[in-house]
Amino acid sequence: MSSTELQWGHEYLMVEPDHFRVDYSINPFMHLDDQPDPLRTRSEWLAIIAAIEAAGGSVRVLPQLPEAPDMVYAMNLGLALAGDSPQVVLSHMRYAQRRMETPAADQWFAEHGFSSRSVGRDGVGAHFEAGDAFAWRGELIVGYGPRTEELALKHLAGDLGVSVRGFRITHPGMYHMDLGFCPLDETRAMVCPAAYDDASAAALLALVPDPLVLTEEEALTFCANSIVLGRTVVMPACPDRVREQLEEWGFDVVVVEVGEFLKGGGAIRCLTNPLDVRLGRDLVPVAGGRVTLPA
């Protein structure tokens, strides 16, 4: 493994898509009259697993609750931190339609040795959705606004004892951080400035030593909603300019069709939750925690 490669991103949790459908609309991509096809959905889901395993990764599977159609977007179940004392910060969903997922996630993580904590619960307290959070360069990079609340950043920093950098998301179609940002290695990341307010966009671009800057049009292909396993980037789409830059940097691009899952507003990163992020390795402990927001 190269010293610049991401240390995490080789072990994932996914949720079986037995009950995936569109029952409501909580993002601009969900339409009740455009339902996913179950056979194509299953085929796409299996193709993601195959791509992960081909790149040397592994997948664990959690059954889907019949009453939780969005549970397939496993990234938003919680922020998992491995290590000697594994723990998970369970998501406190902004929308009530998804809150029944949390107890099932809590049970799975408990059965696999994770202790759990929560920023809020059952609609009370600050909302936090794990699709807004990335461990990168020793800090927790967190988007806030549409789903995660700014107050949650203080809870995360204090509870975990880490440095948290927050970026305000303002684009209605990029409501999670993982739609406008994707770390590629320790110095490179895909960034879409249009996802954020001006101060946050400037701060994020300043944070990334070598950004691959995405246009709004490119980002809305969901190309940033990808996962990285060493030098392999598993993507739902890859515009030509983006592919050219990734390949120039030495990455192998693997595109997996996930059109059925796009009907729910999520792609590959949304469907996969990394289980190998570690405190002390990927997140540097900071006494009392620290929050940095754009000036």
- Token readout for 256 is 């997996």
Would residue 111 count as lying in a domain? yes
- Please report whether residue 5 resides in a domain: no
The CATH number for 230's domain is: 3.75.10.10
Question: Does any domain span residue 162?
Answer: yes
| Domain count along the chain | 1
SS3 106: helix
Q: How are the residues of the chain apportioned to helix, strand and coil, as percentages rounded to the nearest 5?
A: 30, 25, 40
Indicate if the pLDDT at residue 157 is higher than 90: yes
Q: Answer whether residue 20 is part of any domain.
A: yes
**Residue pLDDT, tens place only, 112-129:** 999 999 998 888 999 999
Give domain status of residue 2, yes or no. Answer: no
Report the DSSP beta bridge partners of residue 232. Answer: 229, 252
Closest CA to 230 of 12, 81, 82, 56: 56
- Check: CB of residue 74 under 8 Å from CB of residue 62: yes
Q: Flag whether 292 is in a domain.
A: no
Q: Is residue 294 a part of any domain in this protein? A: no
The answer to whether the predicted template modeling score (pTM) of the entire model surpasses 0.95 is yes
Phi, psi dihedral angles at 97 (to 5 degrees): -60, -20
Residue 293 lies in a domain: no
Return the structure tokens found at 250. Answer: 């030495």
Looking at this protein, which amino acid is placed at residue 291? V
Q: Tell me: the pLDDT tens digits for 190-222?
A: 999 999 999 999 999 999 999 999 999 999 999
DSSP string, 111-153: HTT-EEEES-BTTBS--B-GGGEEEETBEEEEEESSSS-HHHH
What domain range includes position 172?
11-287
Spatial CA neighbour of 188 closest among 234, 151, 137, 141:
137
